[in-house]
Amino acid sequence: MGSKAPPWYNLPMRFIADLHIHSRFSRATSKDMSPESLWRWAQLKGIRVLGTGDFTHPLWHRELSEKLDPAGNGLYRLKKQFRSETVPASCHADVFFMPTAEISCIYRKAGKTRKVHLIVLASGLDDAYLINIELAKIGNLSADGRPILGLDAKELLRIVLSTAPDALVIPAHAWTPHFSVFGAESGFDSLEECFDELTPHIAAIETGLSSDPAMNRRISALDRLTLISNSDCHSVSKIGREATIFDTDVSYSAIAKAIRTREGYVGTIEFFPEEGKYHIDGHRNCGVALQPKETIRHNYLCPICGKPLTIGVLHRVDKLADRDESVKPATPWPFVSLIPLQELISEALGAGVATKKVQAAYFSLLEACGNELAVLMDLPIAAIRKAVPEGRIVDAIELMRKGKVNIAPGYDGEYGRIRIFEKFAVPEKKGQEVLF
């Protein structure tokens, strides 16, 4: 996007929302995922509206009810007695919470086991509670913050529509191989196959870390949908790594309307999709990563051990696409691809993300320049150079804005590696025919 931000970043009511996260009650999540920490890190990142995640979990729902106050706009604020004082003045902002949850539906349909994850956005904790009452009749909501239910995705949609009509149901990370509506392993070839007559009630899908709007544009059946992005984070420092930009009043009704109609929907903040864990095909155990054409040439089998390859998002999009990459739909989906600021600093300083050196530089930069997303997207490079003594960090931000990055794509559950200064050598292992 260059060093100068495009006009659509500077709309008068613009704010950034991250509506899909998890609490500490989900598996493999940080103990720091509390309302207090979420409130603090939303400010550090530049997120104005943050999903609560996991409202289906009884203990988390209770904690949210105890620590959040209704804000009068269908959203919630953290009560003052729980607010931390450790947010730099440059990042101070009003943070609102929206009750959200991710639900895993595992069931049989059309002779195949389906595993579809869905995000539910609720207009209040009371509506979330009503949804919980119905879902508790079907499965154990206490076992995991992201409950696993033996429930058809269409039936989940029906339950939500009948229980809380203002709520939204959105397919989560829609392309990942194992747990998504379009996943190669257990998904469908169309929304209609999944939701049948209720398909018109699906207004959006979540792109996920391994795809971006440019990839989704290749499927004309998605033209009517809004594309949203969220972090799906399991730790506070990952908040906002993907997010959605709105230009509306900050309220549940305005956000829901923007998702349903695109009125006030601006665009999304994305990973470079190659950095996602399932961008290309591969077999992690053998270190094999393949582009789709190579997978076909190997008959979908690992060239080292002969076992089936995990088919990645790029391959799946290729299979369902009815447009060439050069064809643009009538209604565009603007987006920007970013690298998290701590990762940029880590490479620039040649030190690990968790080291004191990188963390000190990160918080020093925020104190001088403002929240992370403002630094990555909005603040003029000249202003950052003036405030940051380490020029290599600023160089990294500028090169990222120009899209000058080096990537080794992710595959079969392995995150891709993305660098600014480092170039990747061609892998030595037999079968790793990745195009870098």
Q: How far is CA 64 from CA 33, 52, 67, in A?
A: 12, 8, 5
Dist CA 43 CA 92 (whole Å):
6
| Residues in contact with 363: Cβ distance below 8 Å, sequence separation at least 6, in sequence order | 88
* Lookup: tokens for 258: 């923007």
pLDDT for the residue numbered 325:
79
Give the tokens for residue 314.
């790029």
Secondary-structure breakdown of the chain: helix, strand, coil percentages, each rounded to the nearest 5: 35, 20, 45
Q: pTM above the 0.85 mark?
A: yes
Q: Compute the Cα dihedral for 417, 422, 427, 433 and give only its sign.
A: positive
Residue 330, classed as helix, strand or coil, is: coil
Query: For residue 305, how many other CB atoms are within 10 A of its CB?
Result: 11
- Asked if 364 and 36 touch (Cβ cutoff 8 Å), the reply is no
CA-nearest of 210, 221, 205 to 153 is 205
Residues 6 or more apart in contact with residue 76 via CB below 8 angstroms: 52, 64, 68, 69, 70, 96, 97, 98, 99, 125
Phi, psi of 412 (to 5 degrees): 45, 45
* pLDDT for the residue numbered 13: 76
Q: How would you classify the pairing of strands 96-98 and 265-270?
A: unpaired
In tens digits, the chain (436 residues) has pLDDT values of 433 444 455 566 799 999 999 999 999 999 999 999 999 999 999 999 999 999 999 999 999 999 999 999 999 999 999 997 789 999 999 999 999 999 999 999 999 999 999 999 999 999 999 999 999 999 999 999 999 999 999 999 999 999 999 999 999 999 999 999 999 999 999 999 999 999 999 999 999 999 999 999 999 999 999 999 999 999 999 999 999 999 999 999 999 999 999 999 999 999 999 999 999 999 999 999 999 999 999 999 999 999 999 999 999 999 999 998 777 777 777 899 999 999 999 999 999 999 999 999 999 999 999 999 999 999 999 999 999 988 999 999 999 999 999 999 999 999 999 999 988 754 433 333 322 2
Q: Which two tokens stand for residue 76?
A: 């919630």
Determine contact, residues 341/242, Cβ cutoff 8 Å.
no
Q: Residue 242 carries which DSSP code?
A: S
Domains annotated on the chain, with CATH: 7-274 (3.20.20.140), 340-401 (no CATH)
Q: Which residues fall within 8 angstroms of residue 77, CB to CB, at 6 or more apart?
A: 68, 69, 71, 94, 95, 96, 97
- pLDDT, residue 389, reads 85
